[in-house]
Amino acid sequence: MTTSLDLNVSMPELTRTLLDIYSVSGEEKTIADAVYKALSAYPHLYLTRDGDAIIARTEFGPRNGEERTRILLAGHLDTVPLPTVEGSLGTVPASIVEDNGDWILYGRGATDMKGGVAVQLKLAAELGEHDTDYNLTYVFYDHEEVASELSGMARLIRNHGELLTDADFGVLLEPTDGTIEGGCNGTMRFYLRTAGLAAHSGRAWKGENAIHKLAGALRVLEDYEPQTYEVEGLAYREGLNAVQVSGGVAGNVIPDAAALHINYRFAPNKTLDEAKAHVTELFDGYELDFVDLSPAARPGLDTPLAASLIAAVGQEPKPKYGWTDVARLSEIGIPAVNFGPGDALLAHTDNEHVSFSALTRCYTDLLFWLHTEVDED
């Protein structure tokens, strides 16, 4: 049975309905079915579905004799797994708590990012041909919270690129706590591997300890000073950290293999190849096995559309330190920013939540912007 979504209800009520749908990565079918069914009721939207990802486009004719600029609004439908700590509120189903005169919506995905998806759905339902100066592309996709090779956005770009690449500007509705966050840091993960020679620990001199051979790499990490780089007026902080260590067979065996799992977050002043070259030089002499390579994205704030959005929001833009799919949009030539309801620091937490006021404010800001005529000379 498909869950019904009423796109005419309030922002908080729509968000709560989305939160009540379990959609951990890999299990997005129910929410994708609900989104597709809801959007199908609006004849001004042309829908394309690919698995559990959906593209909804308007095809409005010229306005005042000129072709319309196209804006893309995107958000992912999946969430991370539910919290395991008993009593956690950031779970399914959602709950509502009053706090200092505001109402707070708790649930998995409240900030990351079903609040943003609710904003997209409301805008898609309400902005008809005579309500906006633009053509609009709404993208809802699966598998964002998992390995990049599973990404629903990447699959849409491969399979339906022509429905995306004609956008002039993009907004990814990831949580930004009421301000615009430009671009994003890139991220890469790799295993630094060492080899030794197994032996009985009582005769350790017969072997070579692979774990001990990690010491030099750990010293590099301990001594490393992450840099901050200014890109188009925004300061991006980098990070290079060990996130996992593995090795060893038993308590009486000298280990013959070990690995250090490292994550490098790099500023958008570097290409992916430059970032890869940087860590290869740092760990010269070690075997590096790269398992995730995701490019950074420049801020995308140097366009008239970005300037008009900044004016509509009324807050100074900030850098995005985490990686988001604005990088994928940037790769296909679409300047894009992050702007969505909720505090990103609450994403994935046991008590993930978003306020009613944050949901309404994000929706109102975007609605005002999309109603505003932009001078693109």
Number of helices and strands (H, E) in the chain? 9, 19
* Rounded CA separation 88/141 (Å): 27
**C-alpha dihedral (112, 113, 115, 116), degrees to nearest 10:** 130
What distance in Å separates the CA atoms of residue 113 and residue 186, rounded to the nearest whole number? 20
Evaluate the CA torsion angle 239, 244, 246, 250 in order and state its sign.
positive
- Which of 77, 92, 100, 85 shows the shortest CA–CA distance to 28? 77
Tell me the Cα Rg of the chain. Answer: 23
214 to 76, 192, 221, 260, 264: CA distances (angstroms) = 38, 8, 11, 7, 17
DSSP conformational letter for 213: G
Residue 78 annotated in active site: yes
Residue 300: C-alpha distances to residues 70, 178, 296, 333 (Å) = 16, 18, 12, 10
Instruction: Name the active-site residue from 28, 52, 142, 144.
Output: 144
Angle at the Cα of 15 from the Cα atoms of 9 and 16, rounded to 5 degrees: 95
* Active site annotation includes 145: no
Question: b/e string for 343-354 if b means 16 or more Cβ within 10 A?
Answer: bbebbbbbbbbb
Q: In the numeric block, which tokens belong to residue 7?
A: 């796109």
Catalytic residue among 28, 33, 52, 78: 78
DSSP letter string, 219-249: HHHHH----EEEETTEEEE-EEEEEEEEE-S
Per-residue buried b or exposed e for 151-169, using 16+ beta carbons within 10 Å of the residue's own CB: bbbbbbbeebeebbeebbb
Catalytic residue positions, numbered:
78, 144
